[in-house]
């Protein structure tokens, strides 16, 4: 049973999340006989093992801590990193807007530190398959350790391959392709070749220049529906009596997300009916050009 499916009493070897009244948080792995040091003294692991979630434990200096299993969104932002992670707000949109469903055949290009991998594995379930490709071996090893800490070492629905997805991709037919890489436009031919009709390609890009080039490459290829692009910003609120207001800090821009669907063979996508804005494809534009916009 994976960590995110476990319920019942805490057992030795699993991770738990401690939080105090000031919101300070700690993740610890339970080991019989061990103690965890805090500013408020020692916490005995044996006081947690065998107990249900939602208990309060007291340290040797009377510090109190709530104990729960970490949510996936809490785990991914605190796990060891090689590459930068995809934050929960973006992972949630990828799973939803790319319509990752139980049983789906998914490929992700760029495993990074494994944060999105964990969400995708949860979404495809035991009947789906996720193929993760990472070009850098050290990043792949970090992703493997992080994901295996969550799901264990035996996960037949997941394969992790070190290599360039454009050269070593083993899957011949897939339902979804998720691209987290510097040049996702270079994978558009691969998406056209391997995605089934109706399949979705989704790119995670950090800059407007990447966004523009990927979108225009999809349009120029002709076998995908009009791309949809967006970004999300996450702002929490301060809640205390009548003092209800937005917090001063927020998770702002992290990346842009783009999705498009694969057309059936022999059926080119409908072209946009509106004319491009003046200057949209001016002399400084270096990407693919739609018909009628040549200089």
The answer to whether the annotation marks 127 as part of a ligand binding site is: no
Residue 212 known to bind ligand: no
Residue 127: C-alpha distances to residues 11, 91, 101, 103, 155 (Å): 27, 21, 10, 5, 11
Q: Do the annotations mark residue 19 as ligand-binding?
A: no
What distances in angstroms separate CA 192 from CA 77, 106, 107, 132, one per listed residue? 33, 15, 14, 18
- Number of helices (H), then strands (E), belonging to the chain: the values are 7, 15
Q: Phi first, then psi: what are they for 30, rounded to 5°?
A: -75, 130
The three-state DSSP-derived secondary structure of 98-124 is CCCCCCCEEEEECCCCCHHHHHHHHHH
Annotated ligand binding at 30? The verdict is no
The answer to whether the annotation marks 164 as part of a ligand binding site is: yes
Identify which of 62, 85, 61 has the alpha carbon closest to the alpha carbon of residue 73: 85
Which residues are known binding-site members for S-adenosyl-L-methionine?
113-116, 134, 164, 180
Which residues are known binding-site members?
113-116, 134, 164, 180
């Amino acid at each position: 049973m994976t960590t995110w499916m476990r319920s019942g009493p805490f057992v030795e070897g699993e991770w738990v999340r401690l939080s105090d009244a000031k919101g300070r948080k700690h993740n610890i792995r339970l080991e019989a006989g061990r103690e965890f040091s805090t500013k408020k003294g020692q916490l005995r692991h044996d006081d947690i093992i065998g107990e249900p979630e939602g208990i309060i434990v007291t340290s040797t200096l009377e510090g109190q801590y709530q104990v729960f299993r970490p949510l996936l969104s809490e785990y991914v932002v605190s796990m060891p990193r090689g590459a930068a992670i995809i934050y929960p707000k973006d992972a949630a949109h990828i799973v939803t807007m790319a319509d990752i469903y139980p049983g789906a055949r998914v490929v992700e290009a760029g495993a990074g530190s494994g944060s999105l991998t964990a969400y995708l594995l949860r979404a495809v379930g035991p009947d789906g398959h996720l193929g993760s490709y990472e070009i850098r071996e050290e990043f792949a090893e970090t992703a493997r350790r992080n994901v295996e800490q969550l799901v264990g070492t035996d996960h037949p629905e997941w394969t992790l391959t070190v290599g360039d997805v454009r050269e070593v991709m083993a899957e011949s037919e897939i339902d979804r392709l998720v691209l987290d890489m510097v040049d996702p436009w270079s994978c558009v031919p691969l998406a056209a070749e391997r995605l089934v009709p109706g399949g979705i390609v989704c790119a995670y890009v950090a800059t407007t220049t990447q966004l523009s080039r990927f979108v225009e490459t999809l349009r120029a290829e002709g076998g995908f529906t009009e791309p949809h692009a967006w970004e999300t910003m996450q702002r929490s609120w301060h809640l205390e009596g009548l003092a209800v207001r937005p917090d001063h800090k927020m998770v702002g821009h992290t990346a842009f997300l783009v999705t498009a669907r694969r057309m059936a063979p022999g059926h080119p996508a409908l072209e946009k009916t509106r004319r491009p804005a003046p200057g949209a494809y001016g002399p400084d534009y270096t990407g693919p050009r739609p018909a009628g916009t040549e200089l």
